[in-house]
Amino acid sequence: MTLFGLILIGVAGFAMWMYVKSGKKAVEAGEVSPPRRPALGPGEAKSPMDLALNDIFQLLDQDFVVEGKITYREDGEEWWEFRLVDGDDEAYLCVEDDDELEVSLWREIDLEIPASGPPESLSWEGVTYRCAERGEASVTRDGRTGRKSGLSCAYWDYEGTGGEMLGVERWGGTYEAWSGRDVEDGRYDILPGDLVEG
């Protein structure tokens, strides 16, 4: 290859690097919108693990808007909660890939937690729940996550005899109690927010 050809390749490479760098700076400065997610192909369905802000999560007869995302990390494991809003109705969708995809919907309940902390068993609506797992995770948040704020969260997961689920979380010094149920595959649809916005 001639010297002239090498110079041309070098100039072209430098120009491309400058173009990409200037585009990234423009996105970070808010001057242009970041690129949209790749469009789904025919027959492709979005996974709950791919949920993003402004997506629509359709469950039975409700259309929830994804307003916030919380990422939990503990001992190398990671799971997510998405804050879903439909008018005044608020719920959290928990998504975890633990050998297989686990999806559950959680709603806050009025359950008094002792000042000494969550006990080994709890009763709610005639069902006794026993603590199956507990821990503390570091947290990152995106969008509006409601009252769930802070850099870490202590949690207690409870199971009832019939597979019912309760959860307790401590954010700062405040306890919150939640009732959960599994969401089966095929009972929900996801509309990407960028498609909904047109």
Q: Nearest Cα to 171, choosing from 197, 137, 142? A: 137
Q: What share of the chain is helix, strand, coil (3-state, %, to 5)?
A: 15, 50, 35
Q: Nearest Cα to 71, choosing from 88, 53, 90, 46? A: 53
pLDDT at 173: 87
Give the tokens for residue 38.
């790749």
Instruction: Split the chain (198 residues) into runs of 10 and give each run's mean pLDDT.
Output: 49 42 40 41 70 95 96 96 97 93 96 94 95 97 91 96 93 94 91 70
pLDDT at 21: 43
Question: What is the secondary structure of 80-100 as a DSSP string?
Answer: EEEEEEETTEEEEEEEEEESE
pTM: 0.75
Rounded Cα distance, 129 and 90, in Å: 24
pLDDT at 107: 97
**Domain residue spans in the chain?**
1-35, 48-196
**In the block, residue with structure tokens 């242009």:** 32
